[in-house]
Chains A and B, each alone.
Chain A
Amino acid sequence: MSLVNSSAGGVLEPILERYSRNPRHLMQILRETQERLDFIPQWAVDYLAEALALARTQVQAVIDFYAFFYGSSRGKYRILFSDNVTDRMQGNTALLARMLSKFGLAQGQVSGDGLVSIDTTSCTGMCDQGPALLVNNYPVTRLSSQRIDQICELVKSQTPLVEWPSEFFRVEDDIRLKDVLLSTEMAKGQALRRAIELGRQGMLTEMKVSNFRGRGGAGFTTGVKWEACSNAPGETRYVICNADEGEPGTFKDRVLLDSFSERVFEGMTIAGYVIGASKGLVYLRAEYRYMLEKLQATLEARRKANLLGKDILGQKDFDFDIEIHMGAGAYVCGEETALIESLEGKPGRPRIRPPFPVTHGYLGKPTVVNNVETLAKATLIAQNGGAWYRGLGTKLSTGTKLLSISGDCDRPGIYEYPFGVRISKILEDCGARNAMAVQVGGAAGTCLAQHEFGRKIAFEDVATSGALMVFGNNRDMFEVARNFMHFFKHESCGFCTPCRVGTTLMCNILDKIANGKGTAYEMNELTRLHQLLRTASHCGLGQTAGRPVYDTLQKFRPSYDRRLNQKDFEPAFDLDAALAPAREITERDDVDAHLGTHL
């Protein structure tokens, strides 16, 4: 019997049609299926596999890889508390406990009536207005006890999300300091017109003259990347906008996409023009699902204005259009080759590099992958010229950088600074009076202590993808590192041995230390594991996963030391607890049915 003719088609056929039954759109098809059905049942897996001519394991593998796809019911309301360290500092733990007790649920459990499940998720990018949660992938910000109680009532009364108070879903830009990007006006199409005036080569020259470096973190020179891609053999090329802003503590791309999307799309179009691509793809993280319709409306308006589509602005043979692909909860997809795998409808496992995307990218074609901020700023270079841009910032790091500032400060939000700004200046501006540490560049970044606050934000000093989390002098840096380590364990793709096993081993050790069972032995193990992960991991995730631990061990060692016990060894597990099942079945509770901790 062919499943394709069964009644399941009622739900799935319109979705399949919308995506032309193209297996490359598997992620989008699964997302829409889940939005209709609340999860992806086995019959849908079988149906989609047959309809898309995929092995059913290929469909299942995608569902299993991404945190936001569910192969079994997670309830009609799926609530996920953002669990970045900033959410913790804002009190999410108590709020989570409050909601769980209101429903009488354990974390991760689905209520007996199938109504609701409550769990945690990686940073949702609302650090400036947290604590935050996602309900069915829509963010609720500025949580308070009161708001939690209201949400519980709305869920219990089964009120549809569209009828919830819109105030809950309000996401502020929180722009605190503007420099050239955030303050310069740009009429729609203005930068693109200028780029076309300059011509492909001319625009590329401006990019190279500007010495502009990519804002995703690695800092590769954007003009050089564009040139390499346009020189790569092949007819078809792609531009990809990496909007998978998953680095904990980063939310500047959220603001650019929400309020400056014309610049982002225009930057993509300019990149397409320069390298000769006719298609652009935005990879938008699942946590930013709420923007999708708005962004699509913006794209539609640009098509109407002939800024996208065929013969753009009357240029013969300049065809370019943009598609938006949603992610589904996988930090590793911020790595450009994992992102490309994901765009192709597969689990987001980083590819072997080389070859690099500029020669072998999306569908094996030459591809430019740029960060949101990079593309937005390309418009500024088109508007004002490379030489002008080069005059901003420092010699090696030209221009400005958007910083997402959160944590212990009076004014969290977005700050645009010329490169070269000192940490101390930033802390002063954002009202961080008692900072003990700042984590620059997110979980994978650098932890700086007070004596380093004179250092500068620049590729040649403290490089960053844009996150800056401030920790006041009452904070516990061990717990900060432990939060990050659990994040990496959760996000490890599992491809390579060191990252798959090592992140778990490091988490286990940190948990043991947190439980007061750590000794000097465990401290030594942490360093050894970090060195292995750093050098042997397949991609940046594993290479940087141990870094928060390493940094805090160097700079905040006492936060570890005061948890250590003075024994030379502690068992790997709780010996007395290991006897509990046998005590239960034999109904013994005598002295000999227990094991003490003494040697």
Chain B
Amino acid sequence: MNSENTFIIDGTPIPFEPDQTVLQAALKADVFIPHLCYYPGLRPNGNCKLCTVIINGRHASACTAFARPGIEVENNTPELNDKRRLLLQMLFVEGNHFCPGCEKSGNCQLQALAYELEMMTPHFNHFFPSRKLDTSHPDVFLDMNRCINCCLCVQASCEVDKKNIFAISGRGMAARIVVNTPSGKLGDSNFALSDKAASVCPVGAILPKRGSFSVPIGQRIYDDLPISSQTEFLATRKA
């Protein structure tokens, strides 16, 4: 391993290939960096900020920063993890995240990161927003209560499915995912359960109908193993 194609994360040399981001190279090398809005194969988006690291002394998103020879990255430090916990708490209070009643529980990346970072409470005052459940599609629920604006569905629908079904609209706290049909209903679109956009949601905002609890609680992705020990899974999911 020579210094031409390595950089450092928390003192450990990490090899990388050209055009890899810090996050991609880290996952490949079995080094976990928390993230929500990155999915392999989709263009890095950089909105959730969970992957905030310090690169050569400056804060940056590991998902959008390209790996360069010799850079020094701080990742798993108490200070950064404190900030990531704050970001998680923000996402929890901004929406309506009631894990006990959510089919995604155990497979949910937001929840898994909260376990990983020992988020015992959402801490901030809850916004309890009024958001809609869209059941119009025959095969898929759309529950905006759980949406964290990561935009992965927008990207997957546009970049992979070539259907452009989702978009983000509004600004500030009013920014939200919308469906590209005159009615705004998913059922009026040509969305299909086989679309990539149906499987990239890190939370329980896009869920298949009729599949509930086919994998029982206790046997789900993050039930036994922390997300930090599943870097290979995170890196090799295909978009």
Q: Which of A's residues lie within 8 Å of B, judged by CB?
A: 46, 55-58, 60-61, 64-65, 330, 347, 352, 489-498, 500-505, 508, 528-529, 531-532, 535-538, 572-573
Contacts and interface: CB of A to CB of B under 8 A. Distances in A.
A60 B169 contact: yes
Contact of A501 (B46, B93, B167, B168): B93
A497 B47 contact: yes
B83 A56 contact: no
A495 B177 CA distance: 11
A498 B87 contact: yes
A538 B49 contact: yes
Contact of A347 (B59, B171, B173): B171
Nearest to B46: A352
A46 B180 CA distance: 11
B175 A532 contact: no
A528 B174 contact: no
Given A64-B170, A64-B171, A538-B46, A497 B164 contact: no
B47 A56 contact: no
Interface in B85-143: 86-87, 90-91, 93-94, 124-125, 127
A347 B91 CA distance: 23
Contacts of B175: 493-495, 500
Contact of B86 (A64, A352, A528): A528
A501 B149 CA distance: 12
Contact of B90 (A55, A489, A501): A501
A508 B125 contact: yes
| Most interface-central of B50, B86, B171, B175 (chain A CB within 10 A) | B171
A502 B173 CA distance: 10
Contacts of B174: 64, 494
Contacts of B172: 489-494, 500, 503-504
Contact residues on B (Cβ < 8 Å of other chain), bracket: 35 or more
B75 interface: no
Contacts of B83: 531-532, 535-536
Contacts of B148: 497
Contacts of B44: 352
Contact of A57 (B48, B86, B124, B167): B167
Contact of A496 (B49, B124, B173): B49
B91 A501 contact: yes
A494 B91 contact: no
Nearest to B63: A352
Nearest to B87: A497
Contacts of A493: 171-172, 175
Contacts of B127: 504
B49 to A, nearest CB: 5
A65 B170 contact: yes
Contacts of B164: 55
| Most interface-central of B86, B87, B170 (chain A CB within 10 A) | B86
Nearest to A330: B171
B49 A61 contact: no
A187 to B, nearest CB: 44
Contacts of A61: 167-170, 178
Contacts of A58: 167
A65 B173 CA distance: 11
A512 B81 CA distance: 28
Nearest to A508: B125
A490 B172 CA distance: 7
A144 to B, nearest CB: 33
Contact of B87 (A352, A503, A536): A536
A354 to B, nearest CB: 8
11 contacts: A64-B170, A347-B168, A352-B61, A352-B64, A496-B49, A497-B49, A497-B50, A498-B90, A501-B94, A538-B47, A538-B49
A495 B168 CA distance: 9
B124 A505 contact: yes
Given A58-B167, A65-B170, 6 more contacts: A57-B179, A61-B168, A65-B171, A492-B172, A497-B90, A501-B173
Contacts of B168: 61, 347
A55 B64 contact: no
Interface string B151-186: 000000000000010111111111100111010000
Contacts of B86: 528-529, 532
A495 B175 CA distance: 8
B94 A494 contact: no
A108 to B, nearest CB: 14
Contacts of B178: 57, 60-61
| Most interface-central of B64, B83, B124, B172 (chain A CB within 10 A) | B172
